[in-house]
Amino acid sequence: MSEADWERLIPKPSSKFLLVVCNECGNRQIVFDSAKTRVKCNVCGSILATPTGGRARITAKVERIYD
């Protein structure tokens, strides 16, 4: 099997973009799932994601994952 095949088979621990819905105001916003800083809602300022060292902890509702 070629190297390219292996790269396709083994999922990389790559970061994803998440479409989240703010719990407070319902605003939809794209959040990087390994955000290094706290992500706030652009509308009401509530926290959507908190960095944990690895993957960010998402505190809003995840509606869609882009990978």
Residue ranges that bind Zn ion, judged by CB under 5 A: 22, 24-25, 27, 41, 43-44
Least gap, CB of 20 to Zn ion (angstroms) = 10
Of 8 and 25, which has the nearer Cβ to Zn ion?
25
- 4's CB contacts (< 8 A; 6+ apart) are none
Residue 1 corresponds to which tokens in the numbers above? 């099997």
The helix or strand, by DSSP H or E, that contains position 7, with its residue range, turns out to be: helix 3-9
Least gap, CB of 45 to Zn ion (angstroms) = 7
Least gap, CB of 15 to Zn ion (angstroms) = 23
Of 22 and 33, which has the nearer Cβ to Zn ion?
22
Is residue 41 within 8 Å of 29, Cβ to Cβ? yes
